[in-house]
Structure 1
Amino acid sequence: MKILFTICGRAGSKGIKNKNLRNFLDYPLSYYTVSVINLFMKKNKQYDSDIVLNTDSEELISQFQNQLKIPIEVIKRKAELGKDDIPKVAVIQNCHEVIKNRLDKKYDLVVDLDITSPLRTLNDLEKLIQKKKTSDADVVFSVTDARRNPYFNMVMKSNGGYQRVINSSFNARQEAPEIFDMNASMYAYCPDFLESGKGIFDGVCDVIKMLDTAILDIDHENDFELMEVIANYLFKKNKDFLSVQENIKNLTTHEYQK
């Protein structure tokens, strides 16, 4: 089985300046993503796996090419794929197209991991890939249990005031359909589905669940700070999370002071 792991990061950021280049608890944020992929590759040597970085950031390319010991393919992102209205799936499609031709490989699976979701475990990644192997879905992605439910305790503004997002007569959360948050951490795609040019929800979807407190949308500075607080707690309480951080020092030529 051949797996292509994609890491996609744009230069700059609307919410946090140069978010993808930031340090997260002593190490570059992006290295947490590289580390969990590396742990998977070391444990699952039966798979033929490659990693590709797709970015328009010269600084991010330098972080990967000059400081990491492991081989990572680099794609310098075209300007038309760096616009605000371009869906990420289009960049992942480009990763697959370029690398399958560059390395002359036919991949069985394309797995994308987001740079801004550093708190994931090897077990999370293994669950995603195993689910995709056993599922007929075109794409499997990670979710968490939702803390709010549009059938019960979420409202939106209307002409007459405010009303439930989805009209219902449910009086208890347990009566409402089970709802999940897409946490944008990991996606596993069929290569043929990627090549079709369709969006995620144009195909058949399946999910794996992750720990809900481990993922936040990092859109503002306080999100970043809160994520570091959560990470410190998880690293102390859960060796599966800590092992991802500890593995970073095995991957880099740089000596980080802790």
Structure 2
Amino acid sequence: MKKILFTICGRAGSKGIKNKNIRSFCNHPLPYYTLSAIDLFLRRHSGYEYRIVLNTDCEELIELINNNNMQPVKIIKRNPELTGDYVGKIDVVRDCLEKMEQKCNTKFDAVVDCDITSPLRIVEDINKLLSVHFSKNPDVTFSVTTARRNPYFNQVIRTDKGVKKVISSNYTARQQAPEIFDMNASLYAFNPDFLRSGKGVLDGYCEVIEMYDTAVLDLDHENDFELMEVIANYLFTHNYDFKEIKEHIG
């Protein structure tokens, strides 16, 4: 039976959106959407042993997570050296792995990080992530969406004299250019040995899964949050896979 460590990482405060990790999103605390997706996945896929851990320095977030009615969550108080603006998230996920291996006296087969600020994921996204990760055995499997712009065709960079294509090519139609994806930072599955190596996400053998292309935005500014709620309310009304995540929160 595979052992999975689910990690949820969120620090106190936010530069772009004040206290975004504890904000209400469509009438529920933002982190509850992540817990709802994890809980529904685990209810439907009983062939895993698992632990869920929150790594944070935010007392309000700890209180929210402790009061959820879906899954028990272990709490790791974030080390001060991991709270800076330029600390990579992979370092925090690695800290979760090391501490949970010690606390649980076990080794995990995969570490799945679910980003708090990506509330619009569905159960099948997690299922696809783990199916690809365990079937192909990469160092990292992560979620992407099809890019709306392509550096071979319709993206440009500034030069000393105007602009030019990011990547020089003779393509006359986007369909001719190589397929390009955007990393949407929603889901990551790590091989624990690779995670312990200290390498970056893209430094090893990577596989991807595609997610719904308009369902994930970067929540960096207040208007991003408002736009995400507009998209969410549409999906909660018209798409059952998204609707069930919200309804499961209660």
TM-score by length of 1: 0.95
Q: CA RMSD in A?
A: 0.9
**Could you say which residue in structure 1 is the equivalent of 2:215?**
214
Aligned to 2:110: 109
Aligned position for 1:77: 78
Is 1:119 the counterpart of 2:120 in the alignment?
A: yes
Deviation readout 1:107-160 (Å, 9 max, x if unpaired): 001000000000010011100010101013100000001000011101111111
Match of 1:232 in 2: 233
Cα distance, 1:94 vs structure 2: 0.3
What SS is found at the alignment partner of 1:215?
coil
Contact 2:21/2:31 (CA < 8 Å) preserved in 1?
yes
> How many pairs align?
249
Contact kept? 2:32, 2:68, Cα under 8 Å = no
TM-aligned CA deviation for residue 67 of structure 1: 4.2
SS at match of 1:234: helix
Per the alignment, do residues 69 and 244 of structure 1 end up closer, same or farther by CA in structure 2, a change over 3 Å counting? closer
Cα deviation digits, residues 163-221 of structure 1 (max 9, x gap): 11112221111111110000000000101110111111110000000110101111111
Which residue type is aligned with residue 240 of structure 1? Answer: D
Note the C-alpha offset of 1:70.
2.6
CA-to-aligned-CA distance 1:1-26 (integer Å, 9 cap, x gap): 10000000011111100010100001
Aligned to 2:143: 142
- State how far apart, in whole Å, the 1-side matches of 2:67 and 2:38 are: 19
| Aligned counterpart, 1:255 | none
Contact 2:36 2:70 in 1 (8 A): no
Q: Is the 8 A contact 2:118 2:186 kept in 1?
A: yes
Letter in 2 for 1:148: R
Report the TM-score, using the length of structure 2 for normalisation: 0.97
Query: C-alpha separation between the residues in 1 aligned to 2:142 and 2:78?
Result: 24
Aligned residue number for residue 12 of structure 1: 13
Q: What is the CA distance between 1:66 and its match in structure 2?
A: 3.3
Tell me the equivalent position of 1:192: 193
Instruction: Tell me how far apart the structure 1 counterparts of residues 206 and 14 of structure 2 sit (CA, whole Å).
Output: 29
Q: Residue 213 of structure 1 aligns to a residue in which SS? A: coil
Residue of structure 2 equivalent to 1:253: none
